[in-house]
Copies of this chain bind each other. A is one copy, B any other.
Amino acid sequence: MNFDYSPEEETFRQEVRTWMEANAPRDPSGIATGMRIGKETQFAWEKKLASKGWLAYTWPAEFGGPGFTPVQRDIFDAERARAGAPSVIPFALMMLGPVLMKFGTPEQQKRFLPRIASAEQVWCQGYSEPGSGSDLASLKTQAVRQGDKYIVNGQKIWTTQAHWAHWIFCLVRTSGDGSKQQGISFLLMDMNTKGIEVRPIVTIDGHHHLNEVFFTDVEVPVENLVGVEGQGWTIAKYLLTHERTAIAGVGDSKRQLRWLSETVARDPALKDSPHARRRIAELEVDLLALEYTNLRTLDRMAKGHSPGPESSGLKIKGTELQQGISEAQLEFGGLQAMPWGQDVEGEPVYRAASTRYNFLRACTIYGGSNEIQKNVLAKVLIGL
């Protein structure tokens, strides 16, 4: 048993590091917070990654990805985070991509995958609805078949970056029969279609990431159905469980914690505080536990196994740690973290802290709240 990377992996890491240092966008405040970065910067960065062939870095070579191993993917993501570069918009790359590879027709694969990998098409995800938070299957948006079209009516909510996206993939109800899961289908829509309206939702970090998306008699060609009618729930579950490598957020948490500890080390008010140093040490130990739990999962995946029981805590612990680090950033920032919505002189990590702290409250809510995650895991562990 060893945790050492192979010489080939170390070479790969060096290659990625060098490239990241040369190419990562230079916008420390925005990138570091991972939020204030604007559409232009994000799109330019994704184009740059695409031109290197690294945008769809989790995809196999046969579908236009670089064909990285699980360990390489992890290294890539760690180096991306280390350079302070933003992560890619995940909806097409991490979610729709794998779905099309498994459930899509060859025509759908040819039509969409190259455009996604080349950064030509940005996607958003239409899952949640006002009445269905954690109870996703209770969704109501309807798609009624009329000839070679579906007519879609309804509403999605919490749609991240819908105001940037060219396309949306949606769970829609195509039948009211059977269990509520059975009537769900998976549909792709061009955001420019008539009848789609996007309204912004501003969140408590003061920014606009989220949206409501309204569908009024939207006509969608039947060839935009993925899989068959009623298969939507199966596809949704596949999508949610598929991508685990980046779920722990180890790379970004490492960068945030390092940024904080470097700042504290030069902060005259904190550098000698045993409590501040202790708190950083506690976070570092927790992060180390998360990092090596993630590596255990990668090792299993590299051997062709599915993730083991150790992986079930990755999302829960990973989000708790993101929140824990942002809390320390806020509290160490003290009065320097009080300015709101306006740039003021001071340590960047402190200045970004209150926005990050507010924003990151969402990470234990979205993608299945941590309470729901624990319900699911309890079923596996206790079996009742």
Residues of A at the B interface (CB closer than 8 Å) are 274-275, 278
Contact = CB atoms under 8 A, between A and B. Distances in A.
A304 B156 CA distance: 56
Contacts of A274: 274-275
Contacts of A275: 274-275, 278
4 contacts: A274-B274, A274-B275, A275-B275, A275-B278
Nearest to A273: B274
A275 B275 CA distance: 7
State the oligomeric state as a number of copies. 2
A278 B278 CA distance: 12
A275 B281 CA distance: 13
A274 B274 CA distance: 7
Contacts of A278: 275
A31 to B, nearest CB: 36
A105 B278 CA distance: 63
A271 to B, nearest CB: 15
Nearest to A278: B275
A274 B278 CA distance: 10
A49 to B, nearest CB: 45
A306 B269 CA distance: 49
A22 to B, nearest CB: 44
A274 B276 CA distance: 11
A242 to B, nearest CB: 37
A282 to B, nearest CB: 11
A258 to B, nearest CB: 24
4 smallest CB-CB distances across A and B, nearest first, come from A274-B274, A275-B278, A274-B275, A275-B275
A274 B273 CA distance: 9
Nearest to A274: B274
A340 to B, nearest CB: 29
A278 B274 CA distance: 10
A130 B180 CA distance: 43
A57 to B, nearest CB: 43
A274 B277 CA distance: 12
A375 to B, nearest CB: 17
A274 B275 CA distance: 8
A274 to B, nearest CB: 4
A260 to B, nearest CB: 20
A273 to B, nearest CB: 9
A299 to B, nearest CB: 35
A279 to B, nearest CB: 11
A374 to B, nearest CB: 16
A330 to B, nearest CB: 20
A206 to B, nearest CB: 32
A134 B274 CA distance: 44
A275 B277 CA distance: 11
A275 B274 CA distance: 8
A275 B278 CA distance: 9
A281 to B, nearest CB: 11
